[in-house]
Chain A
Amino acid sequence: MAMKSFDRRAFIKNAGISAAALPFLGNLDALAFSGKNIQKQRMVIFFSPNGVIPDSFWPNEDGENFLLKEILSPLEPFKKQTIVMNGVCDKVRGDGDNHMRGIGCLLTGIELLPGNVQGGSHTPAGWANGLSIDQEIKKHLQKSEATRTRFGSLELGVLVPDRADTWTRMSYSGANKPITPIDDPYQLFSKLYGQAKDKEVLGSVLDPVIADLKKITALVGKDDRKILEEHTGFVREMEKELRGLKVSQGHAMPKLDPGIREENDNLPKISRMQLDLLHNSLVADFNRIATFQFTNSVGGARMKWLGIEEGHHQLSHEPDTNKVAVEKLVKINKWFCEEIAYFAKKLKDTPEPNGQGSMLDNTLLVWTNELGKGNSHTLDNIPFVMVGGNLGWKAGRSLKFPRIAHNRLLMAMAHGFGHNISSFGNPEYCKDGPLVLS
């Protein structure tokens, strides 16, 4: 807590903002340069755990004429803006079991370091040995004034367990530097709107403070009035400064329902709170990049609201012959897809601020998973479904690749943002260059 406020201060200092305005800065919108003449590009990567049910997920067809299967059916309204990519494989090997590598190498494309986290099989491992693609692109965007935003990126989650290990971290700011996702909507709120709220709180207490100063001034002798009068002057100055700084995030502060606890049954509620806040943040251009992690690798959400009592991970181990389990897993995965469709709709319904089309036209939503299939723990055919976006990719397609390394897709994302890196993660898997998706 201490270091946080310290950092903010350092940031403001570096940005050259007068210390006088310090506690009252709105949301630094003056710093959120909006790159007026360039169409914005954004990307949000969604993660859900435990693989999918291939038969209910992958379209049979290849190309522009394809049918969405049960799990992907919520994306029907956005089908023309959707790409389903089959045949993309996480080929990174090394230490750690498939769950650990499934989440740890997913966005980093590089091996895990040797460590002390022991999975159900294979050798123990630690953190990934490199940064993740969301952070790579964020750094690229933050370098240029035209694309720099207040946060650059947000790392969000829903019911991520309160422990830091290889199974709970997806984003990395560097080798051995996992980023803790924010999974508490109230914490996210104060990250986004804390300063604006401080301002509101302060504004509401200045009158009683001035009244107190007046009362005491009346009680003390002439000589001591000076210090109190001087003090009152500063408080009045602050009042003026507060009035001078208009509410600046471009929209009213959202209101959160109080007291939603982080517990399994609140998952749907928290998911929507997080998605709504993320939507607000993108509208305000606080960030262009985000990751959104449902639970964790091996996540065991119990989706009672779908009539499912068992935990997700437990179900994912059931053999294909257990039809009841397969049905439940289809339901579970479809539920995740509905959340993404909800978010896609929100973006589609929001016209691009200061730009053309809807926000969805400029925001690439990526839905991915740690595994291809839950009961086999395969890292082949990792689900990658894209909706929307403005990376020059041709959408409305079902693509089937011949078992290509997922590093090439990660590179294509960077290239889509004009960041033409020659490799990402382990260069071994990058030899054939970025996937061409135009």
Chain B
Amino acid sequence: MNFSRYDHFWLGLKITFFLLISFQFGRVQGAPNGKKIYETKCLSCHGLNGEGVKGKYNKPLSGDLTPNQLAKIIEETMPKEDPGSLSEADALAVSAYIHEGFYSSIARERNRPARIELSRLTVRQYRNSMMDLVGSFRPNAVPSDKTKGLRGEYFKTRNFNKGDLAESRIDAEVDFDFKEESPIPGKMEPGEFTLRWTGAIHAPETGYYEFVIHASHAVRLWVNDKNTPLIDAWVKSGKDTEYKGSIYLISGHSYSLRLEFTKAKQGVNDNKKPKVVQPAFVKLLWKKPGGPVEICPGEYLSTLAPPEMFVCSTPFPPDDGSLGWERGSTVSKEWDQATTEGALEAAKYITSKLPEFTKVKDGDPLFLEKTEEFLKKFASRAFRRNLQGAESEFIKKVLKEFKDPQDGALRVLVWILKSPNFLYRNEGQGGALASQLSYILWDSIPDQQLLDAEASGKLKNVEGLNREIDRMLLDSRAQEKIRVFFHDILLLNQTHELNKDASRFPGFDSKLESDLRISLDKSIEEVFWEKDSSYQRLFLEQGLFMNERIAKFYQQNTKSKTGFEKVSLDAGQRAGIVTHPYMLSMLSYSAESSPIHRGVFLARSLLGVSLKPPPEAAAPLAASLHPSLTTRERVALQTKGGACMTCHATINSLGFTLERFDAVGRLREKDNSKLIDSSGWYVARDGKKIAIENAQGLGQYLASSPDAHRAFAEQMFHHLLKQPTRAYGAETLEQLTRYFEKNSLNMRKLAGEMARMACTEKTGVKLQEVGKQP
């Protein structure tokens, strides 16, 4: 085995999985064991972790040499009493061990004791906080009516008068071609009519959405802003039938939507004139970030009536994701500037609507007083605590300086939103528990109920705390946080286009892809939010959410034309989300399956195995070069080298278990005319080797595997708390894994337990001193 290749190994190492590294090394058979060599030949002078030994060599072993450079020095000069006695392979092995263990700067960083780091809000937290902060001064959306689709009102004339209303109904989507007919024959004439659709649109991603209307006649569309239309083609002019408008939306929220269409003329009423009936059509489409232009899916439309939301669209530099989860432990000049732009954006928005927030008109004698009151409340909610005397005084003073309260308010708001009291999760200054909880479960500021619970001391007793956690978990903000968590572990945040070979898979287009993503989201939502929130069901579920397009492609039948329904697919052969067609397609090439991608995903994301990047960059062997081989055979051929097998033994043997699914996730018996061998295995952390026969066996193993349970708990912790588990004590991860297993692998309970843990007496003490060593 050629150890010189190890000098790539430190790259991209996942720090959190450090504990697994030595375990990984131990698995390679017949190679020199760097750890053993170090312990027998080096430890007496350099200490267990290279810290040095008094009287022998008292300086710590650390530096910037590469493993190869280090190995050369070791080979030539070490051990001191017998230089040159180590073979090249031994020197390389011990160098790799030292380098990864404590020598390199990365290893030193990793070995620092973990602590709860003072963090600023992540970009997601910042945008959510801004939205909720402004939203807390507005009425909530009425959540009672969550019917899918939009309310469609059909008017006989050019007016939206009640008397002219021919019909009011729910339309699943807006995709109508009336031709020269009446939309409702018998109830209205085909020559002149006016239609209106109202409700809400849910944004599944954060970013710019392009709305597109195809219409034969005049149309206008409002999204979020109820006053200024996003698309205004109410003057029909010329031959255009396509209209577009872009808007930035934040994921996880529903925004009000209104679409109006009229065949009638505006200006002077000419309805008495005889009419030549022109054909009419109206379609509402969108292009969500990274998605195709498609009919706005009914899945995202509802009859909710949300208030206007404040959407902060200032671009931010991405958060540090080097540890596998977004965290706010670093600042940069670009970030500071973005917070300035963001503060100005919000402050201008708010000052332009001061009469709405203060509930008094500009010019009213009470305006100044009410503005001051509003700003104090705003500051207190932004800082997640009661204002200090000096802060209240400051607000009062600034307002007094200006003739126009709007001028003063603008300054106060910019100060609040630039203040570290808003930008950092400094939960040491009171308001600690409410703020902790809301960022853990919502990635946003606490609501009034939570602040009240804290003020009355309810969060300090288990019952009160549990009640709040249960309530918070039912909120749409928690649902969004969990959705993003799954997108993270399923790598969906990194994937946009699947690009399948059109000749092999006709019909697999970007629209199907978009539908499959919805289907996957629905599968996860269904399992997570049902009462027993069963982790096992994620891998044991046999049904698949399908709409018409998916059903057609996977040759199933559905009743529903626009919505999704659960249909059993390949009964007994599937393994929940692991065999969801979107996952299998994503973990494939355009024409062939990819056992390597699938195996890496299973090992890393679901079983928590640490894998390093390949020692050599290698392009996959083209199927056409080996026309007689199956995919399995080809992969085995390419990765048979010893260096490869360090990791590929694990990767391939997991990935092969999904070989009975092709590059678009359809079940197959044969690959390249040969019967498929889908057998594989996995060596667990406890050393047991588990044989896995096929996908179903894989699903059963994942459902019951302690490795998988632990990996799931760890990733959820990172996602919710944005701190390493060790910062809360060395035993934290094991405790949480045991809790998870003892509680029937209930995922929601696990999330609650994590929030609870952060707020219990024990850690509560730590929280009082956040930022200090635990």
A residues at B contact (CB < 8 Å): 1-3, 5-6, 9, 19-20, 22-23, 112-120, 124-127, 129, 164-166, 175-176, 198, 201-202, 204-205, 208-209, 212-213, 216, 219-221, 223-224, 227-228, 230-231, 234-235, 237-238, 258-259
Q: How far is the CA of A259 from the CA of B340 in the complex (A)?
A: 27
B119-165 interface (Cβ within 8 A of A): 120
Taking CB atoms, residues of chain A closer than 8 Å to B265 are 116-118, 124
With A223-B771, A228-B118 already in contact, the answer to whether A259 and B426 are too (CB < 8 A) is: no
Taking CB atoms, residues of chain A closer than 8 Å to B246 are 3
One of A120, A204, A205, A219 near B429 (C-beta < 8 A): A219
Residue of B nearest to A113 (CB): B238
**What are the interface flags for B611-647 relative to A under an 8 Å C-beta threshold, 1 for contact and 0 otherwise?**
0000000000000000000000000000000000000
Q: How far is the CA of A258 from the CA of B402 in the complex (A)?
A: 11
Extra contacts besides A208-B415, A227-B118 (6): CB < 8 Å: A116-B237, A127-B238, A201-B347, A219-B428, A238-B336, A258-B406
One of B118, B235, B314, B404 near A165 (C-beta < 8 A): B235
With A5-B341, A258-B403 already in contact, the answer to whether A164 and B419 are too (CB < 8 A) is: no
Can you list 18 A-B contacts (CB < 8 A)?
Answer: A1-B345, A5-B314, A22-B337, A115-B235, A116-B217, A117-B265, A118-B270, A124-B265, A209-B419, A219-B429, A221-B771, A223-B117, A227-B120, A235-B336, A238-B340, A258-B404, A258-B406, A259-B363
CB proximity of B266 to chain A, nearest CB, Å:
6
Q: Does B218 contact A (CB under 8 A)?
A: yes
Of listed B264, B266, B362, residue having the most chain A CB within 10 A: B266
Residue of B nearest to A229 (CB): B331
Taking CB atoms, residues of chain A closer than 8 Å to B120 are 227, 231
Check if B235 sits within 8 Å of A126, measured CB to CB: yes
CB proximity of B274 to chain A, nearest CB, Å:
14
Taking CB atoms, residues of chain B closer than 8 Å to A198 are 344
Q: How far is the CA of A234 from the CA of B362 in the complex (A)?
A: 37
Taking CB atoms, residues of chain A closer than 8 Å to B331 are 227, 230-231, 234
Q: How far is the CA of A197 from the CA of B690 in the complex (A)?
A: 68
Residue of A nearest to B237 (CB): A126
Q: How far is the CA of A221 from the CA of B424 in the complex (A)?
A: 15
Q: Does B313 contact A (CB under 8 A)?
A: yes
Residue of A nearest to B428 (CB): A219
Q: How far is the CA of A432 from the CA of B560 in the complex (A)?
A: 67
Check if B345 sits within 8 Å of A208, measured CB to CB: no
Residue of A nearest to B217 (CB): A116
Q: Does B414 contact A (CB under 8 A)?
A: yes
CB proximity of B432 to chain A, nearest CB, Å:
13
One of A125, A127, A234 near B333 (C-beta < 8 A): A234
Question: 4 smallest A-B Cβ distances: which pairs?
Answer: A126-B237, A224-B118, A220-B771, A224-B771
Residue of B nearest to A231 (CB): B331
One of B266, B333, B345 near A5 (C-beta < 8 A): B345
Q: How far is the CA of A9 from the CA of B418 in the complex (A)?
A: 20
Q: Does B25 contact A (CB under 8 A)?
A: no
Taking CB atoms, residues of chain A closer than 8 Å to B218 are 116
CB proximity of A262 to chain B, nearest CB, Å:
13
Check if B418 sits within 8 Å of A209, measured CB to CB: yes
B416-458 interface (Cβ within 8 A of A): 418-421, 424, 426, 428-429
Check if B414 sits within 8 Å of A202, measured CB to CB: yes
Q: Does B330 contact A (CB under 8 A)?
A: yes
Check if A114 sits within 8 Å of B238, measured CB to CB: yes
Q: How far is the CA of A212 from the CA of B270 in the complex (A)?
A: 65
Taking CB atoms, residues of chain A closer than 8 Å to B9 are none
Q: How far is the CA of A117 from the CA of B313 in the complex (A)?
A: 36
Q: How far is the CA of A334 from the CA of B345 in the complex (A)?
A: 43
CB proximity of A429 to chain B, nearest CB, Å:
21
With A116-B265, A124-B265 already in contact, the answer to whether A219 and B426 are too (CB < 8 A) is: yes
Taking CB atoms, residues of chain A closer than 8 Å to B240 are 176
Q: How far is the CA of A9 from the CA of B316 in the complex (A)?
A: 13
Q: Does B509 contact A (CB under 8 A)?
A: no
Q: How far is the CA of A418 from the CA of B418 in the complex (A)?
A: 50
**What are the interface flags for B223-249 relative to A under an 8 Å C-beta threshold, 1 for contact and 0 otherwise?**
000000000101111101000001110
Taking CB atoms, residues of chain A closer than 8 Å to B363 are 259
Check if B411 sits within 8 Å of A166, measured CB to CB: no
Taking CB atoms, residues of chain B closer than 8 Å to A227 are 118, 120, 329-331
Q: How far is the CA of A22 from the CA of B313 in the complex (A)?
A: 16
Q: How far is the CA of A303 from the CA of B131 in the complex (A)?
A: 44
Q: How far is the CA of A216 from the CA of B234 in the complex (A)?
A: 54
Check if A118 sits within 8 Å of B311, measured CB to CB: no
CB proximity of A51 to chain B, nearest CB, Å:
19
CB proximity of B337 to chain A, nearest CB, Å:
6
Check if A117 sits within 8 Å of B266, measured CB to CB: yes
Check if B268 sits within 8 Å of A119, measured CB to CB: yes
CB proximity of B766 to chain A, nearest CB, Å:
11
Q: Does B394 contact A (CB under 8 A)?
A: yes
Q: Does B186 contact A (CB under 8 A)?
A: no
B284-341 interface (Cβ within 8 A of A): 311, 313-315, 329-334, 336-337, 340-341
Check if B344 sits within 8 Å of A201, measured CB to CB: yes
Taking CB atoms, residues of chain A closer than 8 Å to B315 are 9
Q: Does B410 contact A (CB under 8 A)?
A: yes
With A126-B237, A237-B333, A258-B403 already in contact, the answer to whether A212 and B268 are too (CB < 8 A) is: no
CB proximity of A435 to chain B, nearest CB, Å:
30
Q: How far is the CA of A228 from the CA of B773 in the complex (A)?
A: 17
Taking CB atoms, residues of chain B closer than 8 Å to A2 are 247-248, 311, 313
Q: How far is the CA of A22 from the CA of B334 in the complex (A)?
A: 10
Q: How far is the CA of A209 from the CA of B394 in the complex (A)?
A: 12
Check if B235 sits within 8 Å of A127, measured CB to CB: yes
Of listed B268, B315, B330, residue having the most chain A CB within 10 A: B268
Q: Does B587 contact A (CB under 8 A)?
A: no
One of A113, A208, A231 near B237 (C-beta < 8 A): A113
Residue of B nearest to A112 (CB): B237
Residue of A nearest to B220 (CB): A164
Q: Does B772 contact A (CB under 8 A)?
A: yes
Check if B268 sits within 8 Å of A118, measured CB to CB: yes
With A198-B344, A235-B336 already in contact, the answer to whether A120 and B424 are too (CB < 8 A) is: no
Q: Does B55 contact A (CB under 8 A)?
A: no
One of B267, B394, B769, B773 near A117 (C-beta < 8 A): B267
Q: Does B770 contact A (CB under 8 A)?
A: yes
Taking CB atoms, residues of chain B closer than 8 Å to A220 are 118, 426, 428, 770-772
Q: How far is the CA of A127 from the CA of B332 in the complex (A)?
A: 48
Q: How far is the CA of A271 from the CA of B129 in the complex (A)?
A: 41
Check if B420 sits within 8 Å of A231, measured CB to CB: yes
Q: How far is the CA of A258 from the CA of B332 in the complex (A)?
A: 38
Q: How far is the CA of A1 from the CA of B120 in the complex (A)?
A: 27
Q: Does B508 contact A (CB under 8 A)?
A: no
Check if A6 sits within 8 Å of B313, measured CB to CB: yes
Taking CB atoms, residues of chain A closer than 8 Å to B269 are 118
Taking CB atoms, residues of chain B closer than 8 Å to A6 are 313
Of listed B237, B315, B329, residue having the most chain A CB within 10 A: B237
Q: Does B283 contact A (CB under 8 A)?
A: no
CB proximity of B278 to chain A, nearest CB, Å:
11
One of B329, B341, B394 near A23 (C-beta < 8 A): B341
Taking CB atoms, residues of chain B closer than 8 Å to A113 are 237-238
Residue of B nearest to A129 (CB): B238
Residue of B nearest to A24 (CB): B340
Check if B270 sits within 8 Å of A115, measured CB to CB: no
Taking CB atoms, residues of chain B closer than 8 Å to A125 are 237
Q: Does B349 contact A (CB under 8 A)?
A: yes
One of B115, B268, B394, B410 near A208 (C-beta < 8 A): B394
Check if B266 sits within 8 Å of A116, measured CB to CB: yes
Q: How far is the CA of A5 from the CA of B410 in the complex (A)?
A: 18
Q: How far is the CA of A201 from the CA of B235 in the complex (A)?
A: 40
Taking CB atoms, residues of chain B closer than 8 Å to A235 are 336
Check if A212 sits within 8 Å of B419, measured CB to CB: yes
Taking CB atoms, residues of chain A closer than 8 Å to B235 are 115-117, 126-127, 164-166
Taking CB atoms, residues of chain B closer than 8 Å to A116 are 217-218, 235-237, 262, 264-266
Taking CB atoms, residues of chain A closer than 8 Å to B337 are 19-20, 22-23, 238
